[in-house]
Structure 1
Amino acid sequence: MAAVGRIVRAMKAFTYRSRLSLDDLALVERPDPVPGPHEVVIRVDAVSLNYRDVAIARGVYGGLTVPLVPASDAAGEVIAIGPGASRFEIGARVCPAYVPDWIDGPVNEIVAQRRLGGPSPGVLAEKIVVHEGALVRAPKGWSAIEAATLPIAGVSAWQALVVDAGVRPGDCVAVTGTGGAAVFLVQIALAAGAQPIVIGRDARKLARIAAIGARTVDSTIHAEWDERVRAMTHGRGVDIFVDGIGGDGLERAVRATRVGGTVCLFGFVAGTRPSLDLVATIRRSITLRATSGGSRASFEALVRAIEIREMRPIVDRVFPFEEAPAALAYLAESSPFGKVVIG
């Protein structure tokens, strides 16, 4: 059934008005969205944040213009359907894809152009309109707060490990950090029959991730953590290293990876210009891959795996919608274990 094309009331959204800065993020009123052909309107029930959102708020992500509604990860309910839309019914619980035009196969220049939360409008609003082809059903039994954690962190973890690196049972996978993406990487590695090793600096968080099933390396104790990782793998090195930190840790990641292994570049919390010993990288025949989001097909495969394995995300803290700027500040200033969610 087509939605009625009249404004029922104004809805609220957060937007950067004149510049990309947290002190310019304002709550504004906008007309209710009306779906066009093959579009649906989603009532947004929860939004999760990523370090990408912090980088955008700091103006260091590059190439984005204002006004801009931030954030890319959401979950909600379909409340209106445009002409010709048939993939979902009213009441369906869904998540929009972070890269809405990437349906399947390898990424390319055309499908990678649009990304929610910059350059395309984001999801930090009470309602959003989305093309039906860019939606994925939420996992059965998951709350909106849980489902909102998936579009970047969960899907990128799946894309990096399963699609790009081809993780296999028995592989050893190293992960840096204990944030939301790192937790998903550990969970997916375990579900694939691989053994994760997590390198971090917070003993309490490392203990929590060890309880999930990972082995850990405390880099405050083992400053030469690459040597510690190699010792834990009997001198061989890990099969796959997923570096979510960036900065100068990339060289160590290469040294911690076996000959012929894969290093996935996944984040840049510690910096965007890492040093790299090219001779060592070439000599060890290391494959370097960069992962940024994933296809709709990867998202759908992740949802199926979640339901089969009965996985659950870890949420660090939930903020009410009106406190979205505080949620972004919290993510920027702290080091959460799991995801920060607005809902």
Structure 2
Amino acid sequence: MPQALTIKKVDGKPGQVYYPLQIVEVPKPKPGPNEVLIRIHTAALNHRDLFIRQHLYPGISFANPLLSDGFGTVVEAGPGPDAQHLLGKKVILTPSRGWLAAPDGPEDPARFSVIGGAALYPAGAGQDFAVVPADELELAPAHLSAPEAAALPLVGLTAWRALVTKGFGSGAISSSADSVAGRNVLVTGIGGGVALSALQFGVALGCNVYVTSSSAAKLERARALGARGGVCYTDAAWDKQLAAQLPRERPYLDVVVDGAGGDVVARTVRLLRAGGVISIYGMTAGPKMDWLMQAVMKNIELRGTTMGSRAEFRDMVEFVRKHQIRPVVSRVVKGLDNLQAVDGLFDDIRHGKQFGKLVIEISSPDEESGSKL
């Protein structure tokens, strides 16, 4: 009998509760018109999943499977040409629904949601089989392993919008990327999936990418991935240290990609060029931050960004395919029903141990599609 990973409802206030994981048996779904049935091979965690377990994320579900990042094989196709041509193909799931292409945000915000443990849409990658609309899939880049393919969707999409759409501006990326090559980019909090994706995208675009972390070991690993430099943000003078690392011919930052908030404006305003951009995809340091008059005088642009559209997801996957980018995987555990090991992945997120994505291997890509009928 197929299984799904969900959370169990227990009493507790948001932020204090920690919903336990549970495995439930579910019937094998059947694809309808223009839908496909996917045998899920790997699924990956995001910070969002931890927030769901703490009831710190809106619109959660106790019935729908967790996890928004998934990779698998299409094993059955419903009626319709869009579905039929995917039969037997390796695919990655679009991690959200309800945002097609509008550059400013979802066309109808009430219909937008990330999948996985969400009340609005039943889809989730934390299960043996998933029925998905055929137009909510992308062919997996052939150079990716099963864990790497699951590690890509949500963080890749978020980083793409934060760096490319918001950081450089829509239309700034040409096919040759000459328009942004040589620009200086700061990516804060390296080690998380979004930050690592932004680093990899920036390096592939020919940018000089600098990073921050609280860990010297993570800074070294980032340099191995192509970062030109980095500083520990626990040092009181990290902004001055970063200024000393910038190239003489371009001694300023063009873009900051940040997921913490806090004092990022105060720390980077002196480093940014006039008209430079701070692109913020999260505020883990707190829900408020200061905006300085100095930033106003330098025409600095502060741009909020979250997730991304279906069109941006397609562009991101194609970029990964073209540049042979491999998402960074921190750790893989085997078995969807191995709850102790899966809980350990959540602990890695809680304590910031990971460098890259945390992945669950649910089935082998070589496994017979008829298993767990």
Match of 2:100 in 1: 103
Which SS does the other structure have where 1:341 is aligned? Answer: strand
Aligned pair in 2 of structure 1 residues 254, 124: CA closer, same or farther (>3 Å)?
Answer: farther
Match of 1:129 in 2: 131
Alignment of 1:17 onto 2:13: no
Deviation at 1:248, TM superposition (A): 3.8
Distance in structure 2 (CA, Å) of the matches to 1:325 and 1:269: 22
Q: 1:308 aligns with which of 322, 328, 347?
A: 322
1:155 touches 1:299 (CA, 8 Å); kept in 2? yes
1:250 touches 1:274 (CA, 8 Å); kept in 2? no
1:159 touches 1:294 (CA, 8 Å); kept in 2? yes
Q: Which stretch of structure 1 is more off in the superposition, 151-160 or 289-298?
A: 289-298
Q: 2:201 aligns with which of 188, 194, 202?
A: 188
2:74 touches 2:91 (CA, 8 Å); kept in 1? yes
Q: Which amino acid aligns with 1:43?
A: R
Q: Percent identity?
A: 35
Matches within 5 A, 1:196-215: 196-214=209-227, 215=229
Deviations 1:19-77 (A, max 9, x none): 58544221110111111221111111111111121122222223434334221111111
Match of 2:278 in 1: 263
Aligned pair in 2 of structure 1 residues 57, 28: CA closer, same or farther (>3 Å)?
Answer: same
Aligned pair in 2 of structure 1 residues 255, 47: CA closer, same or farther (>3 Å)?
Answer: farther
Distance in structure 1 (CA, Å) of the matches to 2:222 and 2:69: 23
Which SS does the other structure have where 1:15 is aligned? Answer: strand
1:169 touches 1:192 (CA, 8 Å); kept in 2? yes
Distance in structure 1 (CA, Å) of the matches to 2:344 and 2:114: 23
2:8 touches 2:22 (CA, 8 Å); kept in 1? yes
Match of 1:239 in 2: 254
Q: Which amino acid aligns with 1:334?
A: G
Q: Which amino acid aligns with 2:7?
A: Y
Matches within 5 A, 1:278-317: 278-317=292-331
Deviations 1:293-328 (A, max 9, x none): 222322222222223222212111001222333322
Q: Which stretch of structure 1 is more off in the superposition, 291-300 or 202-211?
A: 291-300
Which SS does the other structure have where 1:86 is aligned? Answer: helix
Distance in structure 1 (CA, Å) of the matches to 2:32 and 2:265: 45
1:76 touches 1:94 (CA, 8 Å); kept in 2? yes
Deviation at 1:109, TM superposition (A): 4.5
Deviation at 1:142, TM superposition (A): 1.3
1:73 touches 1:149 (CA, 8 Å); kept in 2? yes
2:181 touches 2:205 (CA, 8 Å); kept in 1? yes
Distance in structure 1 (CA, Å) of the matches to 2:144 and 2:94: 17
Distance in structure 2 (CA, Å) of the matches to 1:316 and 1:64: 26
Q: RMSD over aligned Cα, in angstroms?
A: 2.2
Q: 1:337 aligns with which of 355, 359, 362?
A: 355
Q: Which stretch of structure 1 is more off in the superposition, 305-314 or 148-157?
A: 305-314
Deviation at 1:150, TM superposition (A): 1.2
Q: Which stretch of structure 1 is more off in the superposition, 93-102 or 187-196?
A: 93-102
Q: Which stretch of structure 1 is more off in the superposition, 303-312 or 135-144?
A: 303-312
Alignment of 1:36 onto 2:38: no
Q: 1:52 aligns with which of 48, 65, 68?
A: 48
1:72 touches 1:116 (CA, 8 Å); kept in 2? yes
Structure 2, gaps ≥5 residues long: 173-179, 362-373
Deviations 1:98-136 (A, max 9, x none): 123323342224166232122433221111111111111
Match of 1:159 in 2: 161
Q: Which amino acid aligns with 2:9?
A: S
Match of 2:365 in 1: none
Distance in structure 2 (CA, Å) of the matches to 1:247 and 1:123: 33
Q: Which stretch of structure 1 is more off in the superposition, 301-310 or 34-43?
A: 301-310
Distance in structure 2 (CA, Å) of the matches to 1:277 and 1:334: 28
Q: Which amino acid aligns with 1:76?
A: G
Which SS does the other structure have where 1:228 is aligned? Answer: helix
Aligned pair in 2 of structure 1 residues 219, 26: CA closer, same or farther (>3 Å)?
Answer: same
Which SS does the other structure have where 1:264 is aligned? Answer: strand
Distance in structure 2 (CA, Å) of the matches to 1:236 and 1:80: 55
Q: 2:236 aligns with which of 220, 223, 232?
A: 223
Match of 2:140 in 1: 138
